[in-house]
Structure 1
Amino acid sequence: MRKIKIIPDAPFSTNCDVAVMDVTEGKEKKRCKIKIEYAEADVERMKAKGPSKEDVLAGYKEQIYNVVKYYISGDWECMDDYEAILKIIDEKITPYF
């Protein structure tokens, strides 16, 4: 299982870029960059998994895990900053609830 750090860039009103760094071997190696989108239409799609804000946040967490898993070709565990990204998403999606 890979050890990953996910580092958010400055968030925009509808999305946030996140750098994915592999720290499995002790030094940081950039693996990819992903974009998390949380515009109103994106949040409405996520509400299909559950109508509450907690359900939507859980959906975003699952989506982040699956996208990173796809790009690094395997399971991973977050070493830090997962909560920072979820906090950004939480702040941005609150007006839609």
Structure 2
Amino acid sequence: MTTLDLITREDLQKFKAELFAELRSILPATADTAASRKWLRSAEVRKILNISPGTLQNLRNSGQLRFSKVGSMTYYKSEDITTLLEDNVS
């Protein structure tokens, strides 16, 4: 004869709380910020520089900001963003 184990709603809620607690303890150690990553996406660069998509396009077109395109995604080296900022200090 086999026993039947029932999972209650409370069991699932407890499991969920434990799972999220475990994930929170792991993620801060492995999460990377935009500033620490080597390659950034367009949206991240626009946010860092506080510029519009058109301004970012102008920086690419004028050669002021190098980029790499993979498929439809455009990536920028974080060191190039830093150089751009340092070169434009007044």
TM-score when scaled to structure 2? 0.24
Structure of greater relative contact order (alpha carbons < 8 Å, 6+ residues apart):
1
Between Structure 1 and Structure 2, whose CA radius of gyration is higher? 2
More strand by share: 1
Normalised by the size of structure 1, how large is the TM-score? 0.22
Query: Which structure has the highest helix share of the two?
Result: 2
